Structure 1
Amino acid sequence: MKFLPRIHKLTIDLHASRLSSNLEQTTDGTVEVLRPVEEEDLGSINRSKGKKNSRNVDFDVLGGGKYKIPMIYYEEAIRDDIFDNVLLNHGENHEMQEVSGLQEIMLSKANSSNNEIQNEQIDLDTLLISCSDAVSINNRQLAHELLMQIRNLSSRTGSGTQRLASILADGLEARLAGSGSKLYRRLVAKRINTADVLKAYHLFITAAPFYRVSFCFANTNILKLIGNASKVHIVDLGSNFGFQWPPLIQSLATRKGGPPKIRITGVDFPQRGFHPSKRVEEIGKRLEDYAKSFNVPFHYQGIASQWESICIEDINIIDDEVLIINSICQFRRVRDETSTADSPRNRVLQLIRQMKPQLFIHGIFNATFSSFFNMRFKQVLSCYSMSFDVFDSLIPRENEQRKLIENDLLAPVIINLIACEGSDWLERPETYKKWQLRNARAGFEQLELDPVVVNECRKKLRYGYDKRFFVDEDGKWLLQGWKGRKRYALSTWKPTGNSYANNIGTF
């Protein structure tokens, strides 16, 4: 190690070159990617030459803790037939066949009777609430006794009620032991293959219309706004793995007069581990590949950062571009006034206002959780009982993608809500009525719902989804839910004083 050049000579500037310039194809078809390691990752790192003879090296001896070090690792495929089948627009018949196919599977796999499920839920709900009361007053003996009863009745492979109870029991046990933050960090650090997430996403949009309607709402509004514009810049706050954008790129490719130049700035929270920007970089490569296949001029910039730390210079605003800010159900992870005196949530809204977008698309997870643990636990139990009810009603219990959604995507969120406090409590959604007040105070004007957009969203429900799903309107909000309970809300905004063109042209 003494013969290596100083660390700063190994530094690479990802902003100085396009993302694709860091790719190198190997003989076996895998892709080697040169990545910088952030300073928090410099404790110990795995350096390897090729695929073999890897060894651990302690970089502390180099004394270069504030520099970035390039690192080579092997990357999974960024796109294949599965991605195309799930993400691209294949027409209404294709989507209807998927939804009806899942319904046929459920009809052939009858679950427990409704009476048995209701009685089971009442018993477990009573035990869980009693246990949360015992945990809140630190009555360890009673809490452990109740946890044993909950464990005996719950299961990660049983009914939806049993599965949720098992996750909640983990959270209560961690909170009682004071290890909630440690458990949460371990859960979110688990590596999940993007292809597996895609399969889980495919299952979710086949069973429930929530994301399909949300992306339809956003993309239809974007297409109407763009019209015949030649340059478009979309700032995507919270990437959702970039699943929203391939159908938009596909639609723009067929626009009369040719597609516009599209620039997407993907902003996501940094991942834990050696590669905090790995996800946004993978999204960029995937979207570049889609744009290339559809002959759409495209540029992507990925930013892995806490949103409140971003300044307007990072976004690189260009005056002659149509600027659109898009955020679908990700604002809930930006801290609010209850976690810090200076609200990061308001700072992000002020940044958006400073950017002066022609359109701000805001989708939210409609829920609120109290800072008092007893009340919060009951709210979490009620909120996520709906999610597990949807799964149990529409997805077979043995389905592997359902297990991934519940155990790898939902469980960390639930654990964070009930086992973490202070700055470690990250999941803080608000109701759409609170967001309406917050956005208005930040200097935004809410726009009327476009009847054409609303009709397109309602059409998604007619693809054969369960009749217990609904799409409704409340003022200028488009609401989605299950069995009368409002779970998601969508709206469009503009900074006060900005002109807004509902339709610049036709496409």
Structure 2
Amino acid sequence: MWVLNNVASLSGDPNQRLTSWFLRALISRAANVCPTATMHHFDGSSAIDRRRQMTVTELAGYVDLIPWHTFGFCASNSAIFKAIRGCSKVHVLDFSVTHCVQWPTLIDALAKRPEGPPSLRITVPSVRPPVPPFLNVSCEEVGQRLSNFARFRDVEFEFNIIGGYFESLLTSLVDPHQLSSLFRDDEVIVVNCQNWLRSMPDDDEEQSAGSSLRDDFLHTIMGLNPAIVVVVDEDADLNVSSLTTRITNCFNYLWIPFDALETFLPKDSAQRIEYESDVGHKIENVISHEGCQRMERLESGAKLCQRMKNVGFSGVMFCEETVKEVKSLLDEHASGWGMKRDEEMLVLTWKGHNSVFATAWVPGGLGEN
């Protein structure tokens, strides 16, 4: 770690900046294992508070900085729009870490629907995984802002919040009676999972023991008979018990945002340093923590697809219109970003390397494969 400290810099090239955050994560893990052996005098002078809270305006800029989030928003909204065509009442159960930034675009598209917009309900958990980005306004205020926008676009809208601490909420969400009570008989149900499933405990040790809260959650979703389930997440395999494998997979994946930010932001950009600090939060969680403290339990898109099939879902292919919309979005960003189709997935790539996957699913054998 002392050697790494001599070559790693938070203000250096992308590899140095990435290495600096891995050094911090290793030091944090060493502190957890043996506090008296921790090194305190590494280069931490420009450390950022990784739990900083953003304004709504700052959050909008955050998600637009690179297409890490907006890729999933665009693919998901297009698939949802197609799935609810002709429906008069729609209820979206939204599991996301980005505070409903996704939905104004969908509301705007529904307002322009030839047959007129449906009535729209969105239900969100009152608590979310303790991962960036953090917002300085409450769920209630987010809902009020959405309601105001929907009213401006003449879309009948209702916003609901389901409560509870995160750990108890996860358990309650696999209770089919508690979840199904949220819905009304005449509604079409849409389930949106953006960077959410990764926070449900489900690693190698738990799977070998025959327990999986993640699968239980998906079985409950299946029981709601949704019109569509959209799952978007980062395409990396960090859901393993082996620390060595996690470190290797994490390093081979998270160079992407550091490299992408290098293409258009100067080394001393505050916006860049803050974004990288959020990636550093992820690195530290993957490497430093175990058990319930490790929230970052990503599985690859291929593994997620197999999980969905094992539960009983069928994949829905993204239509050409969706592909066109996503490509148009990527044209607004650096030339290194691209997109490819990989079986059931649309995959965001950076210089040919997978970064984020988007998938769409329906219960049973209703998918278009």
TM-score by length of 1: 0.62
For structure 1, which runs of at least 5 residues remain unmatched after alignment?
A: 1-146, 502-507
SS in 1 for 2:262: helix
Match of 1:478 among 346, 356, 359: 346
Where in structure 2 are the equivalents of 1:75-154 lying within 5 Å? 147-154=1-8
Counterparts of 1:364 and 1:244, CA distance in 2: 14
Alpha-carbon distance in 2 for matches of 1:227, 1:374: 47
Identical amino acids, percent of aligned pairs: 27
CA distance in 1, matches of 2:170, 2:16: 36
Q: What letter is aligned with 1:355?
A: L
Give the structure with higher Rg (CA): 1
- Counterpart CA distance in 2 for 1:482 and 1:302 is 36
The counterpart of 2:151, out of the listed 272, 292, 296, is: 292
Residue 31 (structure 2) pairs with residue 168 (structure 1): no
For 2:127 and 2:306, the matched residues in 1 are separated by: 25
Contiguous gaps of at least 5 residues in structure 2? 36-47
* 1:495 shift after superposition: 0.8
* SS of aligned partner of 1:402: helix
Give secondary structure in 2 for the equivalent of 1:240: coil
SS of the residue 2:190 aligns to: strand
Offset from partner CA, 1:164-190 (integer Å, 9 cap, x none): 222111111111111799xxxx96655
Establish whether residue 491 from structure 1 lines up as the match of residue 345 from structure 2.
no
Which residue of the other structure, out of 309, 315, 319, is the alignment partner of 2:172? 309
Looking at structure 2, the residues matched to 392 and 211 of structure 1 have their Cα atoms a distance apart, in angstroms, of 18
Aligned mates of 2:129, 2:355 — CA distance in 1: 27
Q: What corresponds to 2:79 in structure 1?
A: 221
For residue 457 of structure 1, the aligned residue among 319, 326, 333 is 326
Distance in 2 of aligned mates of 1:149 and 1:277: 39
Partner of 2:99, secondary structure, is helix
Whichever residue aligns with residue 172 of structure 2, its letter is S
Q: Which residue of 2 aligns with 1:156?
A: 10
Query: In 2, distance between residues paired with 1:334 and 1:458?
Result: 31
* Residue number among 265, 286, 306 corresponding to 1:395 in the alignment: 265
Partner in structure 1 of residue 122 of structure 2: 264
Contact 2:256/2:355 (CA < 8 Å) preserved in 1?
no
Which residue matches 2:246?
Answer: 376
1:418 aligns with 2:287: yes
Larger RCO, structures 1/2 (Cα 8 Å, 6+ apart): 2
User: Residue deviations 1:368-406, cap 9 Å, x none?
Assistant: 124222222122111111221111123222222222211
Count of matched residue positions in the alignment of Structure 1 and Structure 2:
342
Q: Note if 1:319 corresponds to 2:319.
A: no
The alignment's TM-score, normalised by the length of structure 2, stands at 0.84
- Kindly tell me: are residues 150 and 193 of structure 1, through their superposed partners in 2, closer, same or farther at Cα, counting changes over 3 Å? farther
Other structure's SS at 2:266 match:
coil
Q: In structure 2, how many angstroms separate the alpha carbons of the residues matched to 1:413 and 1:294?
A: 37
Aligned to 2:197: 331
Tell me the amino acid that sits aligned with residue 303 of structure 1. Answer: I
Q: Give 1:427 shift.
A: 0.6
Are 1:358 and 1:500, in contact at CA under 8 Å, matched by a contact in 2?
A: no
Task: Summarize deviations over 1:180-226 as a string: whole Å, max 9, x none.
Answer: 99xxxx96655444443333223x2xxx3343332111111122222
For residues 239 and 168 of structure 1, do their structure 2 counterparts lie closer, same or farther at Cα, with a shift above 3 Å needed? closer
Give the AA of the match of 2:83: L
CA displacement, residues 122-144 of structure 1 (integer Å, 9 cap, x when unaligned) = xxxxxxxxxxxxxxxxxxxxxxx
Q: What aligned pairs does 1:345-360 form with structure 2 within 5 A after superposition?
A: 345-360=214-229
Q: Distance in 1 between matches of 2:83 and 2:53?
A: 38
Per-residue deviation, 1:278? 6.4
Distance change (3 Å), C-alpha of 1:268 and 1:483: farther
Structure-2 change in CA distance of 1:180 and 1:328 (3 Å) = farther
SS of 1:448 mapped into structure 2: coil
